[in-house]
Structure 1
Amino acid sequence: MKTTPQDLGYGVHLIDLEEGGELGRTAAYIVRGESKTALFEVGSSHAAQNILDSLDVLGIKPEEIDYVIVTHIHLDHSGGVGYILPNFPNATVLCHPRAARHLIDPTRLIAGASAVYGDDLERIFGKILPVAEERVRAMEDGEALDLGGRTLTFYDSPGHARHHCSIHDSGSQGIFTGDTVSIRYVPELTGWDFTCLFPSTSPSEFDREAVFRTVEKLRALNPERIYHTHFGATEPASYAFERTLRTVADYDDFAREMFRPGLPWEDLAERIREYIRTDLAAHGHHVHDLSGIELDIRLNAQGLLFVLEKEHAKKQQG
């Protein structure tokens, strides 16, 4: 463990999961109430030891974890749930109703990921193990949970994925938004001397209109801050909402302008790079090296094209 847990105030601690050996890419969060403790996100199974070491630093025993909460089932958020859960004998896994069956039986999840990552799947994400059904609880839209002195309320929040939930925490007046309200890029990851937000449009369920509806739904809660899984807190929350609405619209607009059947994703990735450099320059940041976010650029290009190819095929079918 290269980093120690960060105290963000309001009873919230950030754990850098150091996924892929990279700092500032993926975070887990510890939220402590007066009677219950929750762990948000676990990353892949490679991150398990980092989480356990961080809990030790915080003086939290594994048996004191009451809830393990995952915003959605993409492997960089929940791939390690089944692996780490035996360390938390009293914990219940909380997730979106659409996610529960995939945690209990990850066969389809593994098959889909294998199609993308091939033989590199286990190297990247480690072991993906099932979670016992009795330890999984699906949280409906608007359902609340009392931690003692603070309440967690779960909200259906599609846009990045249909199986995505966001969680409002009354203790911090913050929302844990997973990947729905942009990615927060920090200097530890990028090597830049500033922080910035860009959207995630990765495969296969990006939906521009759903993002817009989710942002409006979460904005109506009047939160003060956003806790991103990638990475850290944005304050005020209004900035994350406004930034997400604008950049998602821009990404979708230029992807549609460029689209033709069979368009190589590399062409769209280059357009995304151009957009990012132009956008940052408009804010006084002249950046040429995008290597720290190249993985996301590729995934975003592929996700946008997946949606447009699907729409095109549907039109062709009449």
Structure 2
Amino acid sequence: MRPSALPPNLGHAFSVAEARDVGVSAARLRHRDLESPFRGMRVVVDESAQSAGEDIADLAEDIRRTCRQYALVMPRDQFFSHIAAAVLWNLTLPPALLLRCLERGIDVAVLAPGRTPRSTRVIGHNVKASHVSVRVHRGLRVSSPASTWACLAGEMTDTHELVAVGDSVVREPLFGSRTGALATLNELEAAVSAGRRPGVLRLREALPLVRTRSLSRPESLLRLLLVSNGIPEPELNHPIRDHAGEVIAWGDLVYPRERVVVEFEGDHHRVNREQWTSDILRQERLERCGWLVVRVTGVQLMNQGAAVAGRVRRALRERSW
């Protein structure tokens, strides 16, 4: 038998209390067209999404969706933290962390000495009040960006990845962006200085390496790769001018004195025909103005780091003669 229609004002996800308030019966709430991802709430089953499969699912959006669902039944003393909070703030995370969050459950915290959250699809945290500040972000209670970054040190063993997340927290608005930095370097420093916590040594190592002008995780990792190989630190997203003083490009990683620019080529540069054409013309303009362009792909960055560093080192030596 087809179930009766639900009141349209309930939406896709709702709490049991909300449903009962508008007259939905207990029997209707038990029907198989509704799922119960968390105790006390229901979600309308989307059969078309299920049949599409997990291979096309966006991991970050899956986490955001789960957070929004849990928020309907979240006690007032709880808030999202760690990986879940980082996703809600749209910080740049390695895919492995997103998978970990989906597999073990979203991160939900409470201030000590409160009771650690326990629920299906939730991993609970008990956090010292001195280690975290809580904000309301898009209607959800979330640890602040600086607090979130500090909490992630206990989840991440790669200092370079932790720096890349820090870069995304303090990223200044560039190229007409209306979105300001989520936190300042001083706020990150305060989070590191708040006291001992899991990963505090990594935080202390990462903090001096965080920069405000990195636009992406690959740019951050590429910069750190070069510096860790003894290559001088480049300028980030630096304006490059022609002989008349007009800006012809903004280079990802730039060595102005040597006139060398290192460009990260994301996959969209390859698959988007217009972007590919633009890249070719851009490189021609740079070379006409005397710049040497070193282009680095994602595969090269992640799997051929020594070779990438060698190419940049040779380019700088060539221009130093």
Global fold match (TM > 0.5):
no
Q: TM tier, shorter chain? A: under 0.3
TM-score, normalised relative to structure 1: 0.27
Q: Which has the greater radius of gyration?
A: 2
Q: Which has the higher contact order (CA 8 A, sep 6+)?
A: 1
TM-score, normalised relative to structure 2: 0.27
